[in-house]
Amino acid sequence: MARRKANGLAKELQSTRRSLLSLDRSLRRLASMVAQTNGKAVGVQPQRKISAKARASLVLQGRYMGYMKQLKPRQKAQVRKIKEAKGVRTAIAKARELAG
pLDDT per position as a tens digit, 30-86:
888 877 777 666 677 788 899 999 999 999 999 999 999 999 999 999 999 999 999
pLDDT digit string (tens) for 8-18? 888 999 999 99
Instruction: Characterise 47 by phi-psi region: left (phi > 0), alpha (psi -120 to 50), beta (else).
Output: beta
> What residue segments make up the domains of the chain, in order of their start?
1-38, 52-99
Q: Which helix (H) or strand (E) holds 83?
A: helix 73-86
Burial, 93: exposed, middle or buried (Cβ in 10 Å; 0-12, 13-18, 19+)?
A: middle
pTM: 0.54
Please enumerate in sequence order all residues whose Cβ is within 8 A of that of 79, keeping only pairs 6 or more positions apart, or say none: 67, 68, 71, 91, 94, 95, 98
